[in-house]
Chain A
C-alpha cells in the first residue's frame, strides 16, 4: 500500500534526473562557448545548483513560512484544526505531529512543507479554515499530510531548485551570448575559425531557449501526478472522498488569489493559487490538474482504496491509470458510512469565522476584552493606557 507509492516515486525520480541532464547540458554548452572548456561550465552549473539546493534543503521551510506570513498555532489556539491534523497524522501513520500554521489571508488555500516526515508543517489560510466544515477540513488536511507522507514536498522542492538553476543559467547564458556575438567578443576573434563558432553559437542559443521550457514541462507533469496521488491517499486516510471533493468545490468557487504565493511555490498548495475562474487549465502549463476533474474522480469513487481511485480516474480522465500497479494489490477498502461529526453541535460558518479571527487577533498579540454589553474590544499590543473605554456602552475596563 503506502510503501508501494515508492514505485511511483521512481518514475518521478527518473523525470528529475531528466531535468538534471538538462542542467548538465546547459553547463556543457556554456563552458564550451565562454571558456572553451566543457568542464568549467559543468563546474559552474553544478556549483550553482548545489548552493541553491543546500539553501532550499536547510532553509527552505522557514523561508516559505516567512514568505507566506504564516502563524504557528498550538492545540489551545484552534482545537478543531489541531485535532483534525492529529487525526490525520494517526490515520496516515506519520511518526511525528507536524507543526500547524494559519496564514491570515481571505484566499482559500492550504499547503504542506517539510523535507522529511519528521519535521513537517501544514498551513491553511484563515479564509479556508472558516469556509470548511469538519469533514471538508479533514479531507484537505489529509491531502496535505499525504504530500508529506509521500515525500512530495522534498521532491518538488528539489525539482523547483533544478528548474530555477536551469532558468538562471539559460537566461544569463543566452544574454551574454547574444551580447558577445553582437559586439564581436574576443572569444570569436581569438579563435579565428568563425564558421564552427557560429554553429556552436546557434546550437547553444537554441538549447538555451528550449531548456527552461522543457524543464518546466517536466516539472509540471511531476507536480500534477503528485496531486492525483495525494488525492488518492487522502481518500484512503479519511475513507471519505466526498469530504475532499466538497472542499475542492468550495475552493473552485473562489477566485481570490493568494497574496503571498509565487510561481515557484505554487505546486505546494492544494489548488493552483493563480487559477482563474472558468478556465479549464488541463493543458501542460498547470501545476495542478483541473479541479473539476479531481472532484469528479473523488465523487465517483465506490470505495476508498487506491484501486478504486484508479478506476475512477480512468473513467473520468480516460487512458492509463495514475496509480502504480503495485499499490493496487491491496484488498478493497469500504467507504466510511457513518460520520460522527458534521451534524451534531458543529459550529456554522459565522461561528467558524469568529473563532478564526479570534486566533488571528491573539496571534498578533492583540488583547481581547469582552464588555458586559457583549462588545469585544481588540486592544493592540502598543496600547499603553491601563484603562480602556467601551465605545458601545461607555464602560471603562482595566487592562
Chain B
C-alpha cells in the first residue's frame, strides 16, 4: 500500500517536471522563431525606406544617376531574394549595404541635400532602422543562447533529447558582417 503511494507520488512529480520542462523548451523555441522574424521585419523596413531616400536625393544629386540606380537595383534584388536561402540572401543584403554606403559617401558633396528637412527625417529613420536590425539580431542571439542552454542543462536536456529539440545556431558574425547595414554617416 505505502510503496504504491510513494511510487505514485514520484510518477506524478516526474510527470509535472516533464511537462514544465517541455513547455519551457517550446516557449524558448517560439521566442527564437519570433526573434528571427523580427530581423526580417527590420530588413523589410530598410527596403521601404530606400525608394524614399533615392527619391529625395534625386533632385539634388544630378550627377549621381548611376549610383542611385545601383542602389535601387540592389534593393530590388535583395527584396526578391527574401524568400531564398540564408546564404543567397546574405549576399544580396551585403550588396545592398555596399552600394548604400557608396551613395551615402557622395552625399558629402551636396550641402543642400544635407540641409533638407525631409532628408534629415529619412536620416533619423535609417539610423534607427540600422539600430533596430542590430538590436533584433542581438535579441535573436540572446534567445538562441537561452534556448541552447535549456537543451543542455539537466533535467531539461533529457526532455529535449526525448522530444527532439535541436540546438539552434547563432546569427554568426561572418554572416552578420555581410548582412550588416552600412555605417550611416551623412556628414
Most buried by B among A79, A88, A91, A338: A91
Across the interface, name the chain B residue whose C-beta is closest to A3: B146
A84 to B128, CA, bound (A): 7
B48 to chain A, nearest CB (A): 14
Across the interface, name the chain A residue whose C-beta is closest to B146: A1
Q: Are A90 and B139 in contact (CB under 8 A)?
A: yes
Q: Cβ of B146: which chain A residues have Cβ within 8 Å of it?
A: 1-3
The stretch of A253-261, A290-298, A340-348 in contact with B is A340-348
Q: Cβ of A199: which chain B residues have Cβ within 8 Å of it?
A: none
Q: Mark B121-147, 1 if CB is under 8 A from A, else 0.
A: 101110110111011101100110110
Q: Are A80 and B132 in contact (CB under 8 A)?
A: no
Query: Which residues of chain A from 85 to 118 have any CB-CB distance to chain B below 8 Å in the complex?
Result: 86-88, 90-93
Q: Are B121 and A90 in contact (CB under 8 A)?
A: no
User: Is A279 interfacial (CB-CB < 8 Å)?
Assistant: no
Q: Mark A326-360, 1 if CB is under 8 A from B, else 0.
A: 00011100000010110111000000000000000
Q: Are B187 and A344 in contact (CB under 8 A)?
A: yes
Tell me what chain B mostly uses at the interface: helix, strand, loop, or mixed.
helix
Interface size class of A (residues with CB under 8 A): 20 to 34
User: Is B19 interfacial (CB-CB < 8 Å)?
Assistant: no
Known pairs A90-B38, A90-B139; A79 contacts B131 (CB<8 A):
no
Q: Are A87 and B131 in contact (CB under 8 A)?
A: yes
Q: Are B132 and A90 in contact (CB under 8 A)?
A: yes
Q: Cβ of A389: which chain B residues have Cβ within 8 Å of it?
A: none
Q: Are A345 and B120 in contact (CB under 8 A)?
A: yes
User: Is A239 interfacial (CB-CB < 8 Å)?
Assistant: yes
Interface size class of B (residues with CB under 8 A): 20 to 34
B98 to chain A, nearest CB (A): 17
Q: Are B139 and A79 in contact (CB under 8 A)?
A: no
A134 to chain B, nearest CB (A): 8
Q: Cβ of B138: which chain A residues have Cβ within 8 Å of it?
A: 91, 239
Q: Are A345 and B139 in contact (CB under 8 A)?
A: no
User: Is A396 interfacial (CB-CB < 8 Å)?
Assistant: no
Query: Which residues of chain B from 88 to 146 have any CB-CB distance to chain A below 8 Å in the complex?
Result: 114, 120-121, 123-125, 127-128, 130-132, 134-136, 138-139, 142-143, 145-146
Q: Are B139 and A93 in contact (CB under 8 A)?
A: yes
B153 to chain A, nearest CB (A): 9
User: Is A368 interfacial (CB-CB < 8 Å)?
Assistant: no
Q: Are B130 and A93 in contact (CB under 8 A)?
A: no
Q: Cβ of A282: which chain B residues have Cβ within 8 Å of it?
A: none
Query: Which residues of chain B from 2 to 53 have any CB-CB distance to chain A below 8 Å in the complex?
Result: 31, 35, 38, 42
Across the interface, name the chain A residue whose C-beta is closest to B133: A90
Q: Cβ of A340: which chain B residues have Cβ within 8 Å of it?
A: 127, 130-131, 134, 183-184
Across the interface, name the chain A residue whose C-beta is closest to B124: A79
Chain A contacts to B: CB under 8 angstroms: 1-3, 79-80, 83-84, 86-88, 90-93, 237, 239, 329-331, 338, 340-341, 343-345
